[in-house]
Structure 1
Amino acid sequence: MHDAFDYAKQKWDNSHKVQDFKVGDLVLVSTLNSNNIKVPNKLKDSYVGPFIYFFLTFDKQFFPLRNPAPLTVPPVEQSEEKRIKKFIKERILRGKNQREYLVRYRNPVHEDEWLAESEIPALDKLLRRFRPERRPQA
């Protein structure tokens, strides 16, 4: 009986090593047995973190963690803002006395979209270019 117990203990000790963490170490935590992450297992990360190990305990299975300082996202530059290149079409909304213009942007990434007159900056300047283009050529 003692031989079987010693054999089982030796097998368990070989596969389970005690981790020695120092205060300030960054650690990853396994999500294998956590049920609070509401995504399919296929999409769930195997480990989450890194967390900061900040407190020593006598129990090797329990260790308190703290999130590191959150990362700040730098502000987006305004140079990437949509700038209107030209008007393509105009329409009047039914039941309302309001015009909308189909607008093409300078940046090729953006698609054409309908904008109301109130949403277009520098409307007069763009209209001066648009209206002569619509006149029939004689």
Structure 2
Amino acid sequence: MLNLERPYPQLLMRPDYPDSPRVREAFKNHINELMKLGVLRKVGHKEEVEVTTPVIITWHNDMSRMVGDFRALNTYTIPDRYSIPRSQETLTQLSKAIFITSMYALKGFHQNFLTPHAKKLLRIIAHCGTYEYLRMPFGIKNAPPHYQRMMNTIFPHELSEGCLIIYIDDIIIC
């Protein structure tokens, strides 16, 4: 999922961003939730850390979302070229349906475990420390094609019959 050449560029060892007390509180809440879910773990003080990515909090309707600023890491990531469905093909397939039901896979990316190598590359840094993703986060370059491949592998029969359409973490049953 994540392939980079070593030695890692210094650009990948980034400090945390300055933030307000409101943002710090949101970080604590998100980090605690992700640790309880087994998505993150705190990196020990004796562990070697070569790559860190700062995180930011985005706000929408007074709800916060923690997002890793993976732009530097994505620059050095070898892209996964797995095909994502095209919207025109999806619309054509939907035009034949009598009934349509849609679902969203909440925290779908977090269902994918990471390799030991990928975990070391997916370390985030905030005011409260350095944390390592144990499962795939949102925002890395190869997350969408990797997740699409997983979903297509799980539902090959339904996809071939045309009764299921999957666009990353959006699922349509028709």
* TM surpasses 0.5: no
Q: Give TM-score, length-normalised by structure 1.
A: 0.24
When Rg is computed on C-alpha atoms for both structures, the one with the higher figure is 1
Q: Whose relative contact order is higher, 1 or 2, with alpha carbons under 8 Å and at least 6 apart? A: 2
Q: Answer 1 or 2: which has greater helix percent.
A: 2
